[in-house]
Amino acid sequence: MSSKSDFILANGRVVLAAAVIERGWVAVADGRIAEVGEGTPPERGEDLAGDLLIPGLVELHTDHIEAHYVPRPKVHWDPIAAVVSYDAQLATSGITTVLDSVRIWREAGIQEVDGQHDVLSDALAQARDADLLRADHFLHLRCEVPMPDIIADTEKMLGRREVRLMSLMDHTPGQRQFRDEEKLRAYYRGKKGGLTDPELDELFALRRRYQEQHAEPNRRGLVELARRHGIPLASHDDTIPEHVTEAIADKVAIAEFPTTAEAAAALHAAGVKVLMGAPNLVRGGSHSGNVATAELAAAGVLDVMSSDYVPSALLLAPLRLPELVPQFDLPAAIRTVSRTPAHAVGLTDRGEIAVGKRADLVRVYSRAGASTARMVWREGRRVA
Protein backbone atom coordinates (compact mmCIF):
# COMPACT_ATOMS: atom_id res chain seq x y z
CA MET A 1 0.00 0.00 0.00
CA SER A 2 1.15 3.55 -0.66
CA SER A 3 1.84 5.84 2.29
CA LYS A 4 -0.21 8.87 3.26
CA SER A 5 0.31 11.90 1.06
CA ASP A 6 -1.20 15.29 0.36
CA PHE A 7 -3.35 15.56 -2.78
CA ILE A 8 -6.43 17.12 -4.31
CA LEU A 9 -9.37 15.38 -5.98
CA ALA A 10 -11.07 17.73 -8.42
CA ASN A 11 -14.04 17.93 -10.80
CA GLY A 12 -16.21 15.42 -8.98
CA ARG A 13 -19.78 15.26 -7.73
CA VAL A 14 -18.90 15.44 -4.05
CA VAL A 15 -21.53 13.90 -1.76
CA LEU A 16 -21.56 15.66 1.60
CA ALA A 17 -23.69 14.58 4.56
CA ALA A 18 -26.60 16.81 3.52
CA ALA A 19 -25.82 18.11 0.01
CA VAL A 20 -24.09 17.35 -3.28
CA ILE A 21 -21.49 19.71 -4.77
CA GLU A 22 -21.99 19.13 -8.47
CA ARG A 23 -18.50 20.32 -9.43
CA GLY A 24 -16.48 20.01 -6.27
CA TRP A 25 -13.01 19.30 -4.99
CA VAL A 26 -11.51 17.82 -1.85
CA ALA A 27 -8.02 18.45 -0.48
CA VAL A 28 -6.37 15.75 1.65
CA ALA A 29 -3.47 16.32 4.03
CA ASP A 30 -1.90 13.84 6.45
CA GLY A 31 -4.72 11.37 6.05
CA ARG A 32 -7.48 13.89 6.83
CA ILE A 33 -9.79 16.05 4.77
CA ALA A 34 -8.18 19.48 4.82
CA GLU A 35 -10.58 21.47 2.63
CA VAL A 36 -13.73 21.04 0.54
CA GLY A 37 -14.66 23.47 -2.20
CA GLU A 38 -16.70 24.16 -5.33
CA GLY A 39 -15.42 24.96 -8.80
CA THR A 40 -11.71 25.14 -9.58
CA PRO A 41 -9.34 24.03 -6.78
CA PRO A 42 -6.39 26.20 -5.71
CA GLU A 43 -3.95 23.69 -7.20
CA ARG A 44 -4.12 21.12 -9.94
CA GLY A 45 -5.49 17.80 -8.71
CA GLU A 46 -6.63 14.36 -9.84
CA ASP A 47 -9.45 14.93 -12.34
CA LEU A 48 -12.46 12.83 -11.34
CA ALA A 49 -14.15 13.56 -14.69
CA GLY A 50 -17.53 14.15 -13.06
CA ASP A 51 -17.59 10.87 -11.12
CA LEU A 52 -19.17 10.68 -7.69
CA LEU A 53 -16.93 11.11 -4.65
CA ILE A 54 -18.47 9.61 -1.53
CA PRO A 55 -17.19 8.79 1.97
CA GLY A 56 -15.75 5.33 2.54
CA LEU A 57 -18.48 2.83 3.33
CA VAL A 58 -18.93 1.54 6.89
CA GLU A 59 -20.08 -2.07 7.30
CA LEU A 60 -21.49 -3.21 10.66
CA HIS A 61 -22.59 -6.77 9.92
CA THR A 62 -20.92 -9.11 7.48
CA ASP A 63 -20.11 -12.77 8.03
CA HIS A 64 -18.81 -13.04 4.46
CA ILE A 65 -15.37 -13.83 5.86
CA GLU A 66 -16.61 -17.38 6.49
CA ALA A 67 -17.14 -17.94 2.75
CA HIS A 68 -13.43 -17.28 2.22
CA TYR A 69 -12.31 -19.46 5.14
CA VAL A 70 -14.65 -22.37 4.26
CA PRO A 71 -15.07 -21.99 0.46
CA ARG A 72 -16.67 -25.44 0.21
CA PRO A 73 -18.17 -27.77 2.83
CA LYS A 74 -15.40 -29.25 5.03
CA VAL A 75 -12.71 -27.33 3.09
CA HIS A 76 -10.79 -24.90 5.32
CA TRP A 77 -8.50 -22.40 3.60
CA ASP A 78 -5.39 -20.89 5.15
CA PRO A 79 -6.97 -18.38 7.60
CA ILE A 80 -4.63 -15.45 6.92
CA ALA A 81 -4.91 -15.95 3.15
CA ALA A 82 -8.69 -16.09 3.58
CA VAL A 83 -8.68 -12.84 5.54
CA VAL A 84 -6.54 -11.06 2.94
CA SER A 85 -8.82 -12.22 0.10
CA TYR A 86 -11.93 -11.17 2.01
CA ASP A 87 -10.43 -7.78 2.86
CA ALA A 88 -9.54 -7.12 -0.79
CA GLN A 89 -13.14 -7.81 -1.83
CA LEU A 90 -14.38 -5.34 0.78
CA ALA A 91 -11.98 -2.61 -0.33
CA THR A 92 -12.83 -2.96 -4.01
CA SER A 93 -16.49 -2.61 -2.99
CA GLY A 94 -15.73 0.77 -1.38
CA ILE A 95 -15.80 -0.49 2.22
CA THR A 96 -13.09 1.22 4.27
CA THR A 97 -14.35 0.33 7.76
CA VAL A 98 -15.80 -3.07 8.64
CA LEU A 99 -17.04 -4.86 11.72
CA ASP A 100 -16.27 -8.50 10.98
CA SER A 101 -19.18 -10.54 12.34
CA VAL A 102 -17.86 -13.66 14.06
CA ARG A 103 -20.17 -16.28 15.54
CA ILE A 104 -19.57 -16.97 19.22
CA TRP A 105 -21.09 -20.41 19.36
CA ARG A 106 -20.47 -24.00 18.45
CA GLU A 107 -22.94 -26.71 17.51
CA ALA A 108 -21.98 -30.30 18.21
CA GLY A 109 -21.74 -32.45 15.06
CA ILE A 110 -22.20 -29.57 12.61
CA GLN A 111 -18.76 -28.21 11.86
CA GLU A 112 -19.94 -25.63 9.34
CA VAL A 113 -22.13 -23.90 11.95
CA ASP A 114 -19.07 -23.24 14.12
CA GLY A 115 -17.94 -19.78 13.04
CA GLN A 116 -14.39 -20.45 14.35
CA HIS A 117 -14.30 -17.01 15.94
CA ASP A 118 -10.96 -17.61 17.63
CA VAL A 119 -9.18 -18.72 14.43
CA LEU A 120 -10.61 -15.90 12.33
CA SER A 121 -10.05 -13.21 14.97
CA ASP A 122 -6.43 -14.28 15.36
CA ALA A 123 -5.96 -14.27 11.59
CA LEU A 124 -7.43 -10.77 11.32
CA ALA A 125 -5.11 -9.51 14.06
CA GLN A 126 -2.05 -11.08 12.44
CA ALA A 127 -2.93 -9.69 9.03
CA ARG A 128 -3.48 -6.23 10.50
CA ASP A 129 -0.18 -6.30 12.39
CA ALA A 130 1.61 -7.33 9.18
CA ASP A 131 0.01 -4.38 7.30
CA LEU A 132 -1.75 -6.74 4.90
CA LEU A 133 -5.21 -5.20 5.20
CA ARG A 134 -6.74 -2.44 3.11
CA ALA A 135 -9.85 -1.72 5.22
CA ASP A 136 -9.98 -0.81 8.91
CA HIS A 137 -11.23 -3.92 10.74
CA PHE A 138 -13.09 -4.24 14.04
CA LEU A 139 -15.06 -7.14 15.55
CA HIS A 140 -18.79 -7.72 15.90
CA LEU A 141 -19.54 -10.61 18.26
CA ARG A 142 -22.66 -12.51 17.18
CA CYS A 143 -23.83 -14.09 20.44
CA GLU A 144 -26.33 -16.95 20.15
CA VAL A 145 -28.13 -16.36 23.45
CA PRO A 146 -29.42 -19.89 24.22
CA MET A 147 -26.06 -21.67 23.83
CA PRO A 148 -24.81 -23.11 27.15
CA ASP A 149 -21.25 -21.71 26.90
CA ILE A 150 -22.04 -18.33 25.35
CA ILE A 151 -21.15 -16.22 28.41
CA ALA A 152 -17.73 -17.83 28.89
CA ASP A 153 -16.96 -17.79 25.15
CA THR A 154 -17.95 -14.13 24.83
CA GLU A 155 -15.99 -13.09 27.90
CA LYS A 156 -12.80 -14.54 26.38
CA MET A 157 -13.27 -12.34 23.31
CA LEU A 158 -13.87 -9.13 25.23
CA GLY A 159 -10.18 -8.70 25.95
CA ARG A 160 -9.68 -7.72 22.31
CA ARG A 161 -9.55 -3.97 21.83
CA GLU A 162 -11.12 -4.25 18.38
CA VAL A 163 -14.54 -5.43 19.64
CA ARG A 164 -17.04 -2.69 18.73
CA LEU A 165 -20.46 -4.41 18.76
CA MET A 166 -22.26 -7.37 20.32
CA SER A 167 -25.51 -8.72 18.89
CA LEU A 168 -28.02 -10.80 20.85
CA MET A 169 -29.28 -13.54 18.55
CA ASP A 170 -31.66 -16.46 18.96
CA HIS A 171 -32.16 -18.86 16.07
CA THR A 172 -34.32 -21.32 17.99
CA PRO A 173 -36.63 -23.15 15.56
CA GLY A 174 -40.10 -21.63 15.28
CA GLN A 175 -39.33 -18.01 16.13
CA ARG A 176 -37.90 -14.74 14.77
CA GLN A 177 -36.28 -15.27 11.34
CA PHE A 178 -37.15 -18.95 11.46
CA ARG A 179 -40.80 -18.78 12.43
CA ASP A 180 -41.23 -21.09 9.44
CA GLU A 181 -39.30 -24.14 10.64
CA GLU A 182 -38.92 -25.43 7.07
CA LYS A 183 -36.62 -22.50 6.29
CA LEU A 184 -34.36 -23.54 9.15
CA ARG A 185 -34.37 -27.14 7.90
CA ALA A 186 -33.29 -25.88 4.48
CA TYR A 187 -30.53 -23.82 6.13
CA TYR A 188 -29.12 -26.83 7.99
CA ARG A 189 -29.36 -29.07 4.96
CA GLY A 190 -27.28 -26.51 3.10
CA LYS A 191 -24.69 -26.51 5.87
CA LYS A 192 -24.55 -30.28 6.25
CA GLY A 193 -26.39 -32.10 3.50
CA GLY A 194 -26.32 -35.50 5.20
CA LEU A 195 -28.77 -34.64 8.01
CA THR A 196 -32.01 -36.60 7.82
CA ASP A 197 -35.35 -35.30 9.06
CA PRO A 198 -35.17 -37.46 12.24
CA GLU A 199 -31.69 -36.05 12.93
CA LEU A 200 -33.00 -32.52 12.42
CA ASP A 201 -35.92 -33.30 14.74
CA GLU A 202 -33.42 -34.28 17.43
CA LEU A 203 -31.27 -31.21 16.82
CA PHE A 204 -34.26 -28.85 16.94
CA ALA A 205 -35.49 -30.44 20.17
CA LEU A 206 -32.06 -29.81 21.68
CA ARG A 207 -32.12 -26.17 20.53
CA ARG A 208 -35.54 -25.70 22.14
CA ARG A 209 -34.25 -27.16 25.42
CA TYR A 210 -31.29 -24.79 25.29
CA GLN A 211 -33.69 -21.88 24.77
CA GLU A 212 -35.85 -22.89 27.74
CA GLN A 213 -32.92 -23.54 30.07
CA HIS A 214 -30.38 -20.87 29.16
CA ALA A 215 -31.82 -17.99 27.13
CA GLU A 216 -33.11 -15.76 29.93
CA PRO A 217 -30.05 -15.88 32.25
CA ASN A 218 -27.65 -15.74 29.30
CA ARG A 219 -29.34 -12.66 27.89
CA ARG A 220 -29.03 -10.87 31.24
CA GLY A 221 -25.38 -11.91 31.46
CA LEU A 222 -24.54 -10.73 27.95
CA VAL A 223 -26.22 -7.36 28.50
CA GLU A 224 -24.22 -6.93 31.70
CA LEU A 225 -20.98 -7.85 29.92
CA ALA A 226 -21.65 -5.28 27.20
CA ARG A 227 -22.39 -2.55 29.75
CA ARG A 228 -19.32 -3.37 31.80
CA HIS A 229 -17.06 -3.16 28.74
CA GLY A 230 -18.82 -0.17 27.15
CA ILE A 231 -19.76 -2.07 23.98
CA PRO A 232 -22.91 -1.14 22.00
CA LEU A 233 -25.55 -3.85 21.71
CA ALA A 234 -27.66 -4.93 18.76
CA SER A 235 -30.86 -6.97 18.75
CA HIS A 236 -31.47 -9.39 15.89
CA ASP A 237 -34.54 -10.46 13.89
CA ASP A 238 -37.06 -8.69 16.15
CA THR A 239 -40.53 -9.83 15.12
CA ILE A 240 -43.24 -9.42 17.78
CA PRO A 241 -43.99 -6.69 20.38
CA GLU A 242 -42.28 -8.72 23.11
CA HIS A 243 -39.03 -8.69 21.12
CA VAL A 244 -39.25 -4.91 20.76
CA THR A 245 -39.92 -4.42 24.48
CA GLU A 246 -36.98 -6.67 25.33
CA ALA A 247 -34.62 -4.84 22.95
CA ILE A 248 -35.58 -1.43 24.35
CA ALA A 249 -35.16 -2.69 27.93
CA ASP A 250 -31.70 -3.99 26.99
CA LYS A 251 -30.86 -0.49 25.67
CA VAL A 252 -29.74 -1.78 22.28
CA ALA A 253 -28.29 0.81 19.92
CA ILE A 254 -29.06 -1.09 16.70
CA ALA A 255 -31.85 -3.43 15.60
CA GLU A 256 -30.51 -5.80 12.96
CA PHE A 257 -32.93 -7.09 10.34
CA PRO A 258 -36.32 -6.71 12.06
CA THR A 259 -38.62 -9.12 10.25
CA THR A 260 -41.83 -7.04 10.33
CA ALA A 261 -42.71 -3.43 9.56
CA GLU A 262 -44.43 -3.13 12.95
CA ALA A 263 -41.32 -4.15 14.88
CA ALA A 264 -39.10 -1.82 12.82
CA ALA A 265 -41.41 1.16 13.35
CA ALA A 266 -41.59 0.62 17.11
CA LEU A 267 -37.83 0.28 17.44
CA HIS A 268 -37.17 3.35 15.29
CA ALA A 269 -39.66 5.38 17.35
CA ALA A 270 -37.71 4.40 20.49
CA GLY A 271 -34.48 5.80 19.03
CA VAL A 272 -32.98 2.45 18.03
CA LYS A 273 -31.16 2.51 14.68
CA VAL A 274 -32.86 0.08 12.29
CA LEU A 275 -30.38 -1.89 10.15
CA MET A 276 -31.54 -3.76 7.07
CA GLY A 277 -29.92 -5.74 4.29
CA ALA A 278 -28.54 -4.02 1.22
CA PRO A 279 -28.99 -7.27 -0.77
CA ASN A 280 -32.67 -7.17 0.23
CA LEU A 281 -32.95 -3.75 -1.45
CA VAL A 282 -30.94 -4.73 -4.55
CA ARG A 283 -32.90 -7.98 -5.05
CA GLY A 284 -36.25 -6.31 -4.43
CA GLY A 285 -37.12 -8.20 -1.26
CA SER A 286 -36.05 -10.52 1.53
CA HIS A 287 -34.77 -13.98 0.59
CA SER A 288 -36.41 -15.22 3.82
CA GLY A 289 -39.84 -13.76 3.06
CA ASN A 290 -39.57 -11.05 5.71
CA VAL A 291 -40.20 -7.30 5.34
CA ALA A 292 -38.47 -5.52 2.44
CA THR A 293 -35.78 -2.90 3.02
CA ALA A 294 -37.48 -0.58 0.51
CA GLU A 295 -40.75 -0.85 2.46
CA LEU A 296 -39.07 0.33 5.66
CA ALA A 297 -37.28 3.11 3.76
CA ALA A 298 -40.62 4.33 2.35
CA ALA A 299 -42.06 4.27 5.88
CA GLY A 300 -39.20 6.46 7.12
CA VAL A 301 -37.76 3.89 9.52
CA LEU A 302 -34.58 2.77 7.72
CA ASP A 303 -31.36 4.07 9.31
CA VAL A 304 -28.51 1.73 8.26
CA MET A 305 -27.86 -0.79 5.52
CA SER A 306 -25.49 -3.76 5.70
CA SER A 307 -24.01 -5.84 2.88
CA ASP A 308 -24.51 -8.98 5.01
CA TYR A 309 -23.46 -11.68 2.50
CA VAL A 310 -22.68 -9.62 -0.68
CA PRO A 311 -20.01 -6.92 -0.11
CA SER A 312 -20.72 -5.07 -3.39
CA ALA A 313 -24.34 -4.54 -2.30
CA LEU A 314 -23.23 -1.83 0.12
CA LEU A 315 -22.34 0.41 -2.82
CA LEU A 316 -25.18 -0.60 -5.14
CA ALA A 317 -27.99 -0.21 -2.61
CA PRO A 318 -27.59 3.48 -1.61
CA LEU A 319 -27.17 4.48 -5.26
CA ARG A 320 -30.46 2.74 -6.13
CA LEU A 321 -32.36 3.82 -3.02
CA PRO A 322 -33.31 7.34 -4.29
CA GLU A 323 -34.81 5.78 -7.44
CA LEU A 324 -36.85 3.29 -5.43
CA VAL A 325 -37.84 5.59 -2.56
CA PRO A 326 -37.94 9.24 -3.73
CA GLN A 327 -38.01 10.68 -0.20
CA PHE A 328 -34.38 9.55 0.09
CA ASP A 329 -32.08 11.93 -1.74
CA LEU A 330 -28.52 10.81 -2.51
CA PRO A 331 -26.90 12.28 0.66
CA ALA A 332 -29.54 10.61 2.86
CA ALA A 333 -29.01 7.30 1.09
CA ILE A 334 -25.22 7.51 1.45
CA ARG A 335 -25.60 8.30 5.17
CA THR A 336 -27.15 4.84 5.70
CA VAL A 337 -23.83 3.25 4.73
CA SER A 338 -21.39 5.83 6.10
CA ARG A 339 -22.01 8.39 8.87
CA THR A 340 -24.96 6.73 10.61
CA PRO A 341 -23.36 3.28 11.05
CA ALA A 342 -20.03 4.85 12.02
CA HIS A 343 -21.60 6.99 14.73
CA ALA A 344 -23.73 4.08 15.99
CA VAL A 345 -20.58 2.30 17.14
CA GLY A 346 -18.71 5.39 18.32
CA LEU A 347 -16.52 5.99 15.25
CA THR A 348 -17.16 9.72 14.94
CA ASP A 349 -13.90 10.45 13.08
CA ARG A 350 -15.22 9.09 9.76
CA GLY A 351 -18.31 8.53 7.63
CA GLU A 352 -18.62 11.91 5.87
CA ILE A 353 -16.71 14.27 3.63
CA ALA A 354 -16.04 17.15 6.01
CA VAL A 355 -12.97 19.08 7.13
CA GLY A 356 -11.08 17.23 9.86
CA LYS A 357 -12.59 13.82 9.16
CA ARG A 358 -10.55 10.84 8.00
CA ALA A 359 -9.86 10.85 4.28
CA ASP A 360 -11.78 7.62 3.66
CA LEU A 361 -13.05 8.24 0.14
CA VAL A 362 -14.51 6.36 -2.82
CA ARG A 363 -14.56 7.45 -6.46
CA VAL A 364 -17.67 5.88 -8.00
CA TYR A 365 -17.81 5.32 -11.75
CA SER A 366 -21.28 4.73 -13.20
CA ARG A 367 -22.19 3.76 -16.73
CA ALA A 368 -25.00 1.77 -18.39
CA GLY A 369 -26.94 1.50 -15.15
CA ALA A 370 -24.06 -0.09 -13.23
CA SER A 371 -21.57 1.38 -10.74
CA THR A 372 -18.16 0.42 -9.44
CA ALA A 373 -15.66 1.74 -6.91
CA ARG A 374 -12.98 2.97 -9.32
CA MET A 375 -10.63 4.36 -6.64
CA VAL A 376 -10.66 3.92 -2.86
CA TRP A 377 -8.62 5.74 -0.22
CA ARG A 378 -8.36 4.94 3.49
CA GLU A 379 -6.87 7.73 5.62
CA GLY A 380 -5.48 9.26 2.46
CA ARG A 381 -3.83 6.03 1.26
CA ARG A 382 -4.93 4.51 -2.03
CA VAL A 383 -6.09 0.98 -1.19
CA ALA A 384 -8.05 0.04 -4.33
CATH number at residue 150: 3.20.20.140
Same domain (yes/no): 86, 48? no
Instruction: Check whether residue 191 and residue 288 sit in a common domain.
Output: yes
C-alpha count within 13 angstroms, C-beta hemisphere, residue 204: 22
117 & 3 share domain: no
Domain span holding position 184: 57-346
The pLDDT tens digits along the chain (384 residues) read 445 569 999 999 999 999 999 999 999 999 999 999 999 999 999 999 999 999 999 999 998 998 899 888 778 899 999 999 999 999 999 999 999 999 887 665 554 445 578 899 999 999 999 999 999 999 999 999 998 889 999 999 998 889 999 999 987 776 666 666 666 666 666 555 566 777 777 777 878 888 888 989 999 999 999 999 999 999 999 999 999 999 999 999 999 999 999 999 999 999 999 999 999 999 998 877 789 999 999 999 999 999 999 999 999 999 999 999 999 999 999 999 999 999 999 999 999 999 999 999 999 999 877 899 999 999 999 999
Amino acid present at 107:
E
Q: What are the DSSP calls for 275-339, one per residue?
A: EEEHHHHHHTS-TTS---HHHHHHTT---EEE-BT-TTHHHHHHHHHHHH-TTS-HHHHHHTTTH
Judgement on whether residues 327 and 377 belong to the same structural domain of the protein: no
3-state helix, strand, coil in the chain (%, to 5): 40, 25, 35
47 and 80 part of one domain = no
* Judgement on whether residues 376 and 248 belong to the same structural domain of the protein: no
CATH of the domain at 359: 2.30.40.10
Same-domain pairing of 260 and 378: no
Residues 70 and 117 in one domain: yes
Does 226 lie in the same domain as 118? yes
Is there a single domain that holds both residue 313 and residue 355?
Answer: no
Q: Same domain for 91 and 212?
A: yes
pLDDT at residue 369, rounded to an integer = 77
Are residues 260 and 218 part of one domain?
A: yes
